[in-house]
Amino acid sequence: QVQLKESGGGLVQPGGSLRLSCAASGSIFSSYVMGWYRQAPGKEREWVATCTSGGSPTYADSVKGRFTISRTNANNMVYLQMNSLKPEDPAVYYCYARRVGASVASAYWGQGTQVTVSS
């Protein structure tokens, strides 16, 4: 069983930055693929970024060049550094974890953290 808890959301002005954190429990954390999704009101959940167990990142085009995903297996953490935040970025951001080769449908999810971008 893997449990995830996000933190770091909040209110930021356009162009600002936030760093989201996700704390994972479970001794098998290092073997899991970790990532972030987001969901804005009235919209479907949208993939944001993924980080493999080896630390290789991939990003949605909408955040590429602005967001950076990273992880530290030693303390079971995954992060999302968000820079140059835009008015289209506000959403609830969810951390997820899945086994290598498994689909997102079988992933573990956190409760989410709210990100608001407003002047």
Residue 29 has pLDDT above 80, yes or no: no
Q: What is the 3-state secondary structure (H, E, C) of the chain?
A: CCEEEEECCEEECCCCCEEEEEEEECCCHHHEEEEEEEECCCCCCEEEEEECCCCCEEECCCCCCCEEEEEEHHHCEEEEEECCCCCCCCEEEEEEEEECCCCHHHCEECCCEEEEECC
Q: Which of 13, 25, 9 is nearest to 94 (CA)?
A: 9
> Which amino acid makes up residue 81?
Q
User: In the predicted model, what is the mean pLDDT of the chain?
Assistant: 93
pLDDT in tens, 50-78: 999 888 999 999 999 999 999 988 888 99
Residue 83 has pLDDT above 70, yes or no: yes
